[in-house]
Amino acid sequence: MSENRKVEIRKLPTGVQKLDDVLGGGLPEYSFNLIVGEPGSGKTTLTHQIMFANATAERPALYFTILGEPTVKMLRYQQQFGFFESEQVGKIIHYVNLSEETLTGDLSVVLERIEAEVERRAPGIVVVDSFRSLVRAVAAVQDSPDAKTGVMDLQTFMQHLATRLTGWQATTFLVGEYGEEEMQSNPVATIADGVIQMTQSIDRNSMVRKLRVAKVRGQSPQPGYHTIRITGDGVQIFPRLIKPIEEQELPPEFISMGSRDLDEMMGGGTIRGNSMIVAGPSGTGKTALCTQFINEGVRRGEPAVLALFEEPKEKYLSNAESLGFKFREMIERGLLEVVFIRPLDLSVDETLYAIQTAVDKIEARRVVIDSISGLEAALAPTFKEDYKDSLYRLIGALTGVGITILMSVEVAENYNELTFTPHAISYLTNDIILQRYVEIDGQLRRMMTVIKTRGRAHSSELRAYNITKGGIVIGETLRQYRGLITAVPVLREDAVPLVTDGLTGGEAAVLLVIKEASEVPLKELTARTGMKRAELTRALARLVALDYAKKTTKKGETIYRFTNGL
């Protein structure tokens, strides 16, 4: 019995990073392909990119132009791209104009000229641009009163062209201005081995280009539309399906948020590979918590990626420095990668790849997205409906390999209800932390609570907190008040007011640390508050003077004790 053997088909690279993956491995050699789309969608640029990636001295490229853009004008613009090598034109890249043959109105004449040039050059790549122009020009001549009879029809021309070029072992591309609906009923698409459709959509002031592989014989292309951009290097593609993730079976491992008190509220911290949201209105300290989370990771040898969608990178780094976190030094050491993305026509797929590239670069273990509200605002309108689906793909890709994600989201205060996010994406996360404002004794205070921790018990307390130069310091549970969710709480009849009346924010933060520990050494106070020694000394002196704290010495070390103001 003879052995069944598969015929190996060599795949040609497109010269466009990741487009080969979308095609299912590249372009089949000797295939007959269509590259179609409306004007301005990038057809000619993509075709040139493929041509320059594959043309060689042994297997040159033939580029046939019709009645559209003059060859000289086309080359003038194409040579602006990085892939274009001017010295190769006339050597391994040859341009032939078919205007005279097209004006005869006889496709057999056009076919003869193509055949003659192919026989003379023995090319590996053949391009006809624009095929739509050829069809229209021939149709116009054939419809005239003086038209010849018995000329070759389009269907016959296509079949002969495909058969002969394949026989000459050339990979062929027909470029044309066809929309998606036109291609569905076009006989040309039936004959073609591959069809690449390119689109360009404008929504208000946003313009987005996309690409879809409608057909590739013998291969399994990635489905759907994929975002593309035309840059100085040519066409770039951002596939909607990011690289496959082999999920790991990770043993439960608690990791710190950077605050011992918050870890306790969350039932021991978060679990490695979790996704989290910190939600709250502007100014409640979401960013402070994010920077604290990054700092804690780097301190434990876990590189981090910070994706910014609101504040510029330098401003963000300066604010982190003011909290005592040396982010610039972390970047220099390769422990932190900052991705700042804020174009108004951003695509979600570009965002995914930018973040994933940064993660791969430093082998990050923690990722912060600050904020997903800014991410949604930066998206082009056409991508907003895919927002939740894309965010789900990003979270799944990262957490599947044990990367822990913290996302901030801004929510508008509505004191009649408890809102976690305005995006209905809570189900995508494992843990949710909520920050809110509350009025207490004529002061606007902040409170924090843990809404959700998946797979473990968590505190349900509403706790006051302050933002200090060392980050967020969580204070006492607000048991003295009822109606906190309304943001206008009432002191319970049997409660003692909070002990921080009359103190500055910094003094209150120091007092919260002392109260939590009952007594704490000066050295630990410095580390936990992150305050400069002079500032901390002034705050402690005032706390002692107001009898909120007592200064003592134990074994030669200065100790501060909480006295409850008594």
What confidence tens digit (pLDDT) does each residue in 414-430 have? 555 555 555 556 667 88
Range ranked top by mean pLDDT from 296-305, 399-408, 429-438, 523-532:
296-305
pLDDT in tens, 344-402: 556 777 777 888 889 999 999 999 998 887 777 767 666 666 677 777 777 887 888 88
Same domain (yes/no): 211, 346 = no
User: Is residue 407 in some structural domain?
Assistant: yes
The predicted pLDDT at position 380 comes to 63
pLDDT (mean) for 43-51: 94
User: Is residue 466 in some structural domain?
Assistant: no
Looking at 397-406, 523-532, 557-566, which range is the least confident one? 557-566
Q: Tell me how far apart the alpha carbons of residues 295 and 298 are, in angstroms, rounded to a whole number.
A: 5
Q: Tell me how far apart the alpha carbons of residues 18 and 537 are, in angstroms, rounded to a whole number.
A: 58
The predicted pLDDT at position 150 comes to 47
User: Is residue 470 in some structural domain?
Assistant: no
pLDDT at 511 over 60: yes
Q: Choose one of 180, 209, 238: the last residue of a domain.
A: 238
pLDDT (mean) for 170-183: 80
Same domain (yes/no): 334, 206 = no
User: Is residue 486 in some structural domain?
Assistant: no
User: Is residue 360 in some structural domain?
Assistant: yes
In terms of Cα–Cα distance, which of 540, 512, 45, 37 is closest to 261?
Answer: 512
User: Is residue 243 in some structural domain?
Assistant: no
Residue 341 sits in a domain whose CATH number is 3.40.50.300
Task: Write the DSSP assignment of 61-116 as a string of letters.
Answer: EEEEE-SSS-HHHHHHHHTTSTT--GGGBTTTEEEEE-HHHHHTT-HHHHHHHHHH
Q: Tell me how far apart the alpha carbons of residues 301 and 161 are, in angstroms, rounded to a whole number.
A: 62
- DSSP class of residue 382 equals G
In terms of Cα–Cα distance, which of 495, 556, 471, 476 is closest to 521?
Answer: 556
Q: Choose one of 459, 476, 496: the last residue of a domain.
A: 459
Range ranked top by mean pLDDT from 174-183, 484-493, 495-504:
174-183
- 156 or 65, which is more confident: 65
Same domain (yes/no): 230, 260 = no
Query: Rounded to whole angstroms, what are the CA distances from 128 to 187, 327, 514?
Result: 17, 54, 78
**How many domains, the chain?**
3
- 384 or 485, which is more confident: 485
User: Is residue 195 in some structural domain?
Assistant: yes
pLDDT (mean) for 41-60: 94
The predicted pLDDT at position 190 comes to 78
pLDDT (mean) for 99-107: 78
**Whether 351 contacts 341, CB under 8 Å:** yes
The predicted pLDDT at position 503 comes to 64
The predicted pLDDT at position 255 comes to 92
Average pLDDT score, the chain = 82
Same domain (yes/no): 124, 199 = yes
The predicted pLDDT at position 363 comes to 92
Q: Tell me how far apart the alpha carbons of residues 269 and 257 are, in angstroms, rounded to a whole number.
A: 6
Same domain (yes/no): 221, 309 = no
Same domain (yes/no): 433, 536 = no
User: Which pLDDT band holds residue 500 (cuts at 50, 70, 90)?
Assistant: low
pLDDT in tens, 244-296: 455 556 678 899 999 888 999 999 999 999 999 999 888 888 999 999 999 99
pLDDT in tens, 52-81: 999 999 999 999 988 656 788 888 889 999
Looking at 269-273, 335-339, 468-472, 508-512, which range is the least confident one? 468-472
**Whether 378 contacts 309, CB under 8 Å:** yes
Same domain (yes/no): 332, 436 = yes
User: Is residue 397 in some structural domain?
Assistant: yes
- 476 or 25, which is more confident: 25
* HEC sequence for 305-360: EEEECCCCHHHHHHHHHHCCCCHHHHHHCCCEEEEECCCCCECHHHHHHHHHHHHH
Same domain (yes/no): 334, 429 = yes
User: Which pLDDT band holds residue 212 (cuts at 50, 70, 90)?
Assistant: very high
Q: Choose one of 180, 208, 238: the last residue of a domain.
A: 238
The predicted pLDDT at position 334 comes to 94
Polymer length of the chain: 566
The predicted pLDDT at position 1 comes to 46
556 Rama class: left (phi>0) / alpha (psi -120 to 50) / beta: left
Domain extent for 524 = 511-562
Same domain (yes/no): 380, 442 = yes
The predicted pLDDT at position 138 comes to 62
Range ranked top by mean pLDDT from 329-338, 366-375, 478-487:
329-338
* HEC sequence for 453-507: ECCCCCCCCCEEEEEECCEEEEEEECCCEECHHHCCCEECCCCCCCCCCCCCHHH
Same domain (yes/no): 262, 214 = no
Sign, CA dihedral 441-468-529-516, equals positive
The predicted pLDDT at position 260 comes to 86
Same domain (yes/no): 359, 433 = yes
pLDDT at 487 over 70: no
Same domain (yes/no): 516, 383 = no
